[in-house]
Copies of this chain bind each other. A is one copy, B any other.
Amino acid sequence: MPKMPPVPYVAVIFTSRRRPADEGYAALADRMEALAAAQPGYMGHDSARGEDGRGITVSYWTDEASALAWKDHIDHAEARRMGRERFYEAFTVRVAVVARQFHSGDAP
């Protein structure tokens, strides 16, 4: 869990169902993660995927323009094609403005 910046900031919620076939996915996911981290406005992300193939990644952005630039980025070109054809049965992207937050426990 990345540190929590002060609100408001933007969360991009990516939910997906993976196909069973796995080939090449880890490489793409690593590349996408490195690419996201290099975008203007990127502030970190959380990610989890269960054994049933359902996954959620939430990335955090300073502002909506940065988040939308990343949404457009991931919605296009190679990742879009590979994601739709090879890796995901379905996915959704939601762009949301974080208005309130709280934390419990160790440093995130």
Interface residues of A (CB under 8 A from B): 1, 4, 11, 13, 15, 17, 46-51, 54-56, 58, 64, 68, 71, 75, 83-84, 88-108
- Would you list 18 pairs from A and B whose C-beta atoms are within 8 A, ordered by A residue? A1-B90, A1-B92, A13-B13, A46-B56, A47-B50, A47-B54, A56-B58, A58-B58, A84-B104, A88-B105, A90-B103, A90-B105, A92-B103, A92-B104, A92-B108, A93-B101, A96-B96, A96-B98
How many copies the complex holds: the figure is 2
B105 touches A15 (CB 8 A): no
Q: How far is the CA of A98 from the CA of B58 in the complex (A)?
A: 13
Q: How far is the CA of A49 from the CA of B64 in the complex (A)?
A: 27
